[in-house]
Amino acid sequence: MALNRELYDAIIDGKAAEARTLVEAEIGAGADPMALIAESMIPAMDEVGELFQEERYFVPELMMAGRAMKAAMEPLRPLMARSNVQPLGTVVVGAVKGDLHDIGKNLVGTMLEGSGFRVIDLGTDVPPAKFVAAILEHRPQILCLSALLTVTMVNMRATVAAIEAAGLRDQVRILVGGAPLNERFAREIGADGYGATSTEAVSLARRLVEAA
């Protein structure tokens, strides 16, 4: 499948209803949800990021594009979630304190769900104590932390530290991701892995539960 230019433009232009309708048409024509996301939707968000950096887009346009991306994701979610009998494991996902970006995190959660994991999504702006409480409550094998801002990356370190302080570090594998991160940062803060994409999140999560 190639780039769907109409869908790409609808997301960039923040046209939520149009983006959703175009996705529904693609699904009706038998399109692969992952190909749609990877080849049209994520590239559109990248373009929006560039427009913002070049100061051709401002926060309102960013928000409208974010909404269009979310609307376009909606019809894809049920297709990506499989009804597995026995989950592969439990994963808690969340965007760290101060971070309101949830599109990438949602994609990670949806992909994990689609791969057979039970996913508990704590949402955005999640303080370290809430991650700790979720580990105690849900006993996940894996925790996925997301951050899109350089200023919120530090809260990943604080989250890992809080989990350690609560004596829970050996009970959960921690994966981190988000555009400004890299492997080195993940190692520095004591995480167990870094993934650049939601596909990598799934393969890492699978590897970690298999090794457990």
The binding site for ligand B12 (CB under 6 A) comprises 42, 45-46, 48-49, 52-53, 59, 62-63, 65-66, 98-105, 107-108, 144-146, 148-150, 175-180, 195, 197-198, 200-201
- In the complex, least distance from residue 84 CB atom to ligand B12, rounded to whole angstroms: 21
Minimum separation from the CB atom of position 120 to ligand B12 (A): 14
> Residue 195: what are its φ and ψ, rounded to 5°?
-125, 135
Between 20 and 105, whose beta carbon lies closer to ligand B12? 105
Residue with Cβ nearer ligand B12 (42 or 132): 42
For ligand B12, which is the closer residue by CB, 25 or 70? 70
Q: Rounded to 10 degrees, what is the CA torsion of 118, 92, 122, 18?
A: -60
CB of 15 to ligand B12, least distance (A): 15
Measured CA distances, 161 to 28, 72, 134, 142, 189 (Å): 47, 36, 15, 16, 8
**Are 114 and 80 contacting, i.e. CB atoms less than 8 angstroms apart?**
yes
Residue among 31 and 69 whose Cβ is closer to ligand B12: 69
Side by side, the strands of the sheet bearing 90-95 are 118-121, 90-95, 142-146, 173-177, 193-195
Q: Report in angstroms how near the CB of residue 137 gets to ligand B12 at its nearest.
A: 20
**What is the rounded CA–CA span in Å between residue 186 and residue 156?**
9
